[in-house]
Amino acid sequence: MRKIPRPLRQIFRPMTPRSSVIEQGLVLTSILAAMVLAVMALVVHGINNDAEEAATRSIRSIDVAATLDKLQLALRDGDMAGRDLVGGRTRDRSDADRFDAARFQARLNLAGLGPLTSDDPAQSERLSRLSPLINRKFGLGLRSYDAAAPGARDEIDGVIASMREGEGRRLETYRATQRYANQRSTWIMVGSLALVSVLSLVFWMLLKIEFAARRALEGRLIESATTDELTGVANRSDFDRKLVQEWTFRNRYGTALSLLVVDVDGLQAHNLQWGHVAGDAILREVARRLAARLRRTEVLARSGGDEFTVIVPQYRKEAMAIAEQLREQIAEAPFHIQSGGERPSSIVVTVSIGVAEASDVETPRQLLASAEQAVHEAKGRGGNAVAAFHPDSTTAGMRTTTSESQKNTEPSPRAANG
């Protein structure tokens, strides 16, 4: 069996079982709309053919009526010529000429009626009765006119009237067929277009749903690619991208930029004592408290196992104040954790924060390294502290400033059963 061509596979691909219901609905709606239009075209074409045939027959009936009128005129001219000759009103050759012309015209009209009435047996039968009457009336010539057909004119008029009446009925039938065909064609087109419009509306709604589903999926993909799964804040890759953006913005417009590195004190000890599930809960609560304090212009991200970073569009002094508020936000209330089947326990969790300003370094990587160096200094002083990075060529390359409120703080974590 030959393989299906690739273009056809692409067309019918949405109908595979793996496709979504919406895609199948879109394809089905398109097929139904195309089928409706095709059926409408075929039906209207058939109706138009019937209407065209009825119009042709109507013209034929009109021609029959006109030919009958001509035939009656010829008969009248022949009668007048015969009566004039018999009454002795004229004696010249013109009477014979008039009679011959009327006879020729009558026979010509009889010949013309044959093809026009061939499709109607009733009319053909009337014509077969009319022909011998007219031939008998004119067949013996002008001199024997009276003796040739006594009383034939009344019978001829009766047959012609009968043919005219039958042709009138046929004409009315054909015109009624035309009117019915036009009305039917109009209603079929209106109904088909209405159905296609409904299908188009359904197609549009399904397309909107599909686009919304795709946008939602794209949003979820972007969120999963840029969000830390555990804490719900930005992940390391998103942090790196936004840090470069903020750095570029600062270089272009000369704005302030600082970076905070937040390290959870003693997380490893908490994991050993309470388990990694409790450690994860601590990280989630830390992220929640940090996000609750930060503004929309400040970017919070999780850059490592127990480390968070905050991009702050402020100078060092304001960044130190924000860092101090974040430290207090974490330490002001105990954390409630659930460990196994025991009752919830309350523990004190603290963080150490390092602050670095962009004006002290040359690259975003150096800014991150400086903030990490400052947080190591804060943790070296016992934790629960804020330290800032300052470049200083007279020392080992830096000096740190510790928040005054933390110089005498004792940062050792403690736990108490609740």
Per residue in 248-294, pLDDT tens?
Answer: 999 999 999 999 999 999 988 888 888 888 889 999 999 999 999 99
**Would you say residue 215 has pLDDT above 70?**
yes
Q: For residue 311, what pLDDT band results from cuts at 50, 70 and 90?
A: very high
The CA distance from 52 to 182, in Å, is 11
**Would you say residue 93 has pLDDT above 90?**
no
**Would you say residue 418 has pLDDT above 60?**
no
- Output the pLDDT for position 404: 45
Q: Comparing 6 with 317, which gets the higher pLDDT?
A: 317
If you average pLDDT over residues 324-338, what whole number do you get?
90
Strands 307-312 and 299-302: antiparallel
What's the CATH code, domain 21-193?
A: 1.20.120
CA 53 to chain centroid: 42
- Output the pLDDT for position 196: 82
Residues of the chain with CATH 1.20.120: 21-193
**Would you say residue 408 has pLDDT above 70?**
no
Residue with tokens 């905070």: 260
Most confident of 54-58, 183-187, 318-322: 318-322
Largest Cα separation within the chain, whole Å, is 158
- Which of 64, 88, 196 minimizes the C-alpha distance to 146? 88
The CA distance from 397 to 407, in Å, is 22
Q: What are the φ/ψ torsions at residue 228 (nearest 5 degrees)? A: -70, 130
Which range, of 106-115, 287-296, 334-343, 351-360, averages the lowest pLDDT? 334-343
The CA distance from 248 to 259, in Å, is 15
If you average pLDDT over residues 382-402, what whole number do you get?
68
What's the CATH code, domain 236-417?
A: 3.30.70.270
**Would you say residue 177 has pLDDT above 90?**
no
- Output the pLDDT for position 203: 80
Which residues face 386 on adjacent strands?
353
Residues of the chain with CATH 3.30.70.270: 236-417
Q: For residue 372, what pLDDT band results from cuts at 50, 70 and 90?
A: very high
**Where does residue 312 rank: exposed (0-12), middle (13-18), buried (19+ CB within 10 A)?**
buried
The CA distance from 406 to 327, in Å, is 10
- Which of 215, 220, 418, 236 minimizes the C-alpha distance to 334? 418
Q: Comparing 324 with 40, which gets the higher pLDDT?
A: 324
